[in-house]
Chain A
């Protein structure tokens, strides 16, 4: 298959050897599961249960609130202990509402949903995906059903399945492709059906020859599915860049890939889709990689959602030493975890306990204007320049220089010899700009309301005046008529 060039990018040490040959194991049940109401982009789900309720595995315990939201299901059978704030994986480190479930140990399933079979109607597939609470499992966590319904508003021709897995350390997608090949391909076919596209391309980085071979074999029976080995280069898995590499189409700024006819889903999502549509099972567990220099026995685990990180680390033999950094996701774009009590959520594709030799953190030096970050940026930005604007507090100049075109991939900071915290500065600036926009929106809204109120009052006053004038005229007329009699 013909590939197109994308610019920039870096080659981080892969570090995948620790787990790439580790078959996925089932993690044993933890004593207590915490299911945050928001494990997706959009509105938090609304709880359907209260403390003391008994639930079965797969039973919905929270319903989507609005069009962009996702349902949550009990990941095992047991009793609801509480519904309230718990530590969650969020950059702010603040607790958020969650349902706490005490497993009864039976792991008893509720009645499964009906299988829709491989020839289900597109609407039915999307509806089932919504019912099953499936979100983008590569870490983006956007509700998948919303993306499967994009055909309503866009002319689509291609589904791209992202099996690049370009983050170092992570091998869970690799394992999934090797161990559940046929289920994945069926899932991809279902998703292509839901989208109404005649072409599905599964992109796999060249560092996964076994997965590529297995998937190619399984896809042979499907005319619409192609496997595309792509160069091993970070950030190959970035949605817009992957689409460009595969189709040559560049997504315009501020637009979606759907605007150029392509929808991208993570390969792990296809497995969840298969389970939901064919087996009638909602999303109650996920496969993730537990790795990093401080993990005694790195491996891949299938984990019931809500399992605390601490439990996963224990399953992997514990920590050999105190990690410098505990992460959810890969080292390039992953989020630091502030506590081992934080639960496994839908978008978590890895738990990494990194040592200083993994992070290679070092003191920052003056920016040399060396241009290394410029060469590394896949978006054609001048990262050092944006960072300098942010440092000077000149957010307008940072925006002008392309702050919002930055995808936060971290290639620049990875490559910077002076170890300038570029991404941190971009996060800070984006947060500031968003807060500023919200403030402005609120101010505009208040102004609009005040204006509307003033207008309404003026109108009422005018109406009253007109009414009075009319009454007066009527009275005058009556009087005049009376006088005439």
Chain B
């Protein structure tokens, strides 16, 4: 038994986790929040989700073909996941072309222009979200109040076709639209209404936590997102560094400002539970490709995302800043990775060998 084959080196053991499994676990972790969101916003949301994920896969196939890369790469699941995450971040009753255009932007501009999986500088789904927000501000900020799929107010399939695809006449969305918590607070503050009056209508943090709130398709339920995140943390698919730093990055300045002037600044708990904070902390900012590679770098990156989210929400032109914050920190990631490096064993921080001191000191 003599074999001839190329040199192969160890290790001949493996931790077991693979890239497709990483993607699959993230999808599994997203499933509860996704199912909840689809149920909460009914058939239009389901249509939008299918269109977005489908377009992402189609765009990935087209890009791989064009680049002459093997289609097997599709098996890593990253395209499905990008489409999925994008869909969850869209207004649930957005028209189909928002999802389709977003998914195409995510795959082409967000990923393949950079050379494919692992090469991209920016989180593809967030590139798409920001591009859509800038190009179609109306469609991207028109939210609806929850209409659970089994309830009387839920649109049936025919009405849903009208909402998403405009089939059988346009639906009048303005009639049903509703403001998200952050959007409402922002407009009221701009009108000079203090927060105690603006929020008097009863924004219940408990409802925010459960997810029975106005918001993007899959971002509403902090509870279910946290459950999914806990699964990923337990499986070590993600580490705690980015989520923890991000949440603190939002909560600490929010708490400080709220303490100074509760009439102008939302309380930290609202910041933490509202809109995409939890979703961003656990599923977006933790994107392995576009976050720093060292633990220390991840802490800086997470905290940066958090602070930027707070700053954009509070003083920026948009009620929600997660996507912008993540993109800005994505851009800073190469810099962070350049400066925050582990110290090499036996060397000082500058890379010089440690001095040889004789024993017996």
Complex: chain A residue closest to B118, CB-CB: A366
- From B44-52, B136-144, B174-182, B288-296, give the one contacting chain A: B288-296
Tell me if B344 and A255 are in contact (CB < 8 A).
Answer: no
- From B254-262, B271-279, B313-321, B349-357, give the one contacting chain A: B349-357
Q: Does A390 contact B (CB under 8 A)?
A: no
Contacts of A384 in B (CB 8 A): 293
Tell me if B289 and A369 are in contact (CB < 8 A).
Answer: yes
Tell me if B344 and A381 are in contact (CB < 8 A).
Answer: yes
* Interface members, chain B 318-361 (any A CB < 8 Å): 341-347, 351, 353-360
Measured as residues with beta carbon below 8 angstroms from the partner, the interface class of chain B is 35 or more
Given the known interface contacts A253-B344, A405-B347, A424-B7, the answer about A359 and B13 at a Cβ–Cβ threshold of 8 Å is yes
Given the known interface contacts A368-B118, A375-B295, the answer about A168 and B14 at a Cβ–Cβ threshold of 8 Å is no
Complex: chain A residue closest to B15, CB-CB: A415
Tell me if B2 and A380 are in contact (CB < 8 A).
Answer: no
Tell me if A369 and B288 are in contact (CB < 8 A).
Answer: yes
Q: Does A479 contact B (CB under 8 A)?
A: no
Contacts of A93 in B (CB 8 A): 4
Q: Does B134 contact A (CB under 8 A)?
A: no
Complex: chain A residue closest to B236, CB-CB: A372
Q: How far is the CB of A76 from chain B (nearest CB, A)?
A: 25
Q: How far is the CB of B313 from chain A (nearest CB, A)?
A: 29
Partner of A424, one of B8, B288, B293, B357: B8
Tell me if B347 and A369 are in contact (CB < 8 A).
Answer: no
Tell me if A370 and B293 are in contact (CB < 8 A).
Answer: yes
Tell me if B293 and A374 are in contact (CB < 8 A).
Answer: yes
- The answer for the CA separation of A253 and B349 in the assembled complex, in Å, is 12
Best-surrounded residue of B76, B119, B291, B342 (most CB of chain A within 10 A): B342
Tell me if A423 and B293 are in contact (CB < 8 A).
Answer: no
Contacts of A360 in B (CB 8 A): 13-14, 16
- The answer for the CA separation of A402 and B17 in the assembled complex, in Å, is 27
Contacts of B353 in A (CB 8 A): 252-255
Partner of B14, one of A361, A374, A377: A361
Contacts of A365 in B (CB 8 A): 18-20, 76, 117
Q: How far is the CB of B298 from chain A (nearest CB, A)?
A: 7
Tell me if A378 and B11 are in contact (CB < 8 A).
Answer: no
Complex: chain B residue closest to A157, CB-CB: B359
Contacts of B13 in A (CB 8 A): 12-13, 168, 331-332, 358-360, 414
Q: Does B9 contact A (CB under 8 A)?
A: yes
Tell me if A382 and B10 are in contact (CB < 8 A).
Answer: no
- The answer for the CA separation of A370 and B297 in the assembled complex, in Å, is 12
Contacts of A417 in B (CB 8 A): 15, 17-19, 21-22
* Interface members, chain A 60-85 (any B CB < 8 Å): none
- The answer for the CA separation of A61 and B292 in the assembled complex, in Å, is 58
- The answer for the CA separation of A262 and B358 in the assembled complex, in Å, is 10
Q: Does A7 contact B (CB under 8 A)?
A: yes
Tell me if A379 and B344 are in contact (CB < 8 A).
Answer: yes
Q: How far is the CB of B31 from chain A (nearest CB, A)?
A: 20
Q: How far is the CB of A24 from chain B (nearest CB, A)?
A: 24
Q: How far is the CB of A479 from chain B (nearest CB, A)?
A: 70
Contacts of B116 in A (CB 8 A): 366
- From A225-233, A282-290, A336-344, give the one contacting chain B: A336-344
Q: How far is the CB of B195 from chain A (nearest CB, A)?
A: 40
Partner of B2, one of A10, A252, A260, A338: A338
- The answer for the CA separation of A365 and B23 in the assembled complex, in Å, is 12
Best-surrounded residue of B2, B14, B117, B357 (most CB of chain A within 10 A): B14
Contacts of B66 in A (CB 8 A): none
Contacts of B270 in A (CB 8 A): none
Tell me if A405 and B16 are in contact (CB < 8 A).
Answer: no
Tell me if A419 and B9 are in contact (CB < 8 A).
Answer: no
Contacts of B12 in A (CB 8 A): 325, 327, 331-332, 334, 336, 352, 354, 358-359, 361
Contacts of B293 in A (CB 8 A): 369-371, 374, 382, 384
- The answer for the CA separation of A367 and B298 in the assembled complex, in Å, is 18
Tell me if A332 and B359 are in contact (CB < 8 A).
Answer: no
Partner of B344, one of A154, A168, A260, A380: A380
Tell me if B117 and A366 are in contact (CB < 8 A).
Answer: yes
Contacts of A251 in B (CB 8 A): 346
- The answer for the CA separation of A187 and B47 in the assembled complex, in Å, is 75
**A residues with CB within 8 A of B:** 7, 10, 12-13, 87, 91, 93, 154-158, 168, 240-241, 249-255, 259-262, 325, 327, 331-336, 338-341, 352, 354, 358-362, 365-371, 374-375, 377-382, 384, 402, 405, 410, 413-415, 417-419, 421, 423-424, 427
**B residues with CB within 8 A of A:** 1-4, 7-22, 73, 76, 116-119, 239, 288-289, 291-295, 298, 341-347, 351, 353-360
20 contacts between A and B (CB under 8 A): A13-B13, A168-B13, A240-B346, A253-B346, A253-B347, A327-B12, A334-B12, A339-B2, A352-B12, A365-B76, A366-B116, A368-B19, A368-B22, A371-B288, A374-B294, A380-B341, A380-B344, A384-B293, A414-B14, A418-B19
- Give 12 new A-B contacts, CB below 8 A, not counting A327-B12, A332-B13, A382-B341: A252-B355, A254-B353, A334-B12, A358-B13, A360-B16, A369-B118, A369-B288, A370-B288, A379-B345, A380-B344, A380-B345, A417-B21
